[in-house]
Structure 1
Amino acid sequence: MERASRPDWGVLVVDFRNAFNSVSRKHALEAMRKVFPEAWPFLSGIYGGGSLPYWTTAGTVFEAHTGVQQGDPCGPVLHACALQLVLLRLATEVPELRICAYHDDVTLLGTPETLAQG
């Protein structure tokens, strides 16, 4: 791999706040259907109903309408699939932009003009 010096490039680091709970379930399921269709029937059964009930230790019940269930091992996969579609669209619209992502941490590299487009 050849290293290149790009003194005119900058780096923009994006860390999504509360990322796993902020993704629309509808968007995450649609992304899952496109990226990993074999898992879609299973996950749509869990997340396709709209809201998930949660019980507190005091017996209070509340419903969550967005995001994934806390501790769900499928949560990172749902989030990654949803984010992947967004990043692929960004890469198509701004091909000069370099994108590195790991779950909710996204790093964009490019000239200041390119970063402004992203």
Structure 2
Amino acid sequence: MPRPRSPPRRGEIFEHNICPTLLFGLERLRDGLDYIYGRNVYTVYGDIMQFTVRVNLPKPHDLVKYLQDEGYLRREPLQDIPERVKEQIKANGWYQIQPYDQEERDPGW
């Protein structure tokens, strides 16, 4: 009989790898991650070879399949990354999506 999975320890980090050829675009990926985890609780980093989603929340077990089932990622990878997506990735550098990167700053800061 399989052992029940113990609850995550405080501060435990979960990482999920995503192939960029599955992306429709970074905003659609962000929408999917916001839907699953909520806003500002995950980081996506990587380059045109591979993305990694880092989060302190344990769900879901197979993030890529879940995002595909919900329509946030392609079912089948493309041969090449679409040029628009490739340019977005290059423009962002290593960190593609970070907590609070879309929050408006107070002009008085």
Q: Given the two structures, how large is their TM-score scaled by the length of structure 1?
A: 0.30
The structure with the largest helix share of the pair is 1
Q: Given the two structures, how large is their TM-score scaled by the length of structure 2?
A: 0.31
Q: Which has the larger radius of gyration?
A: 1
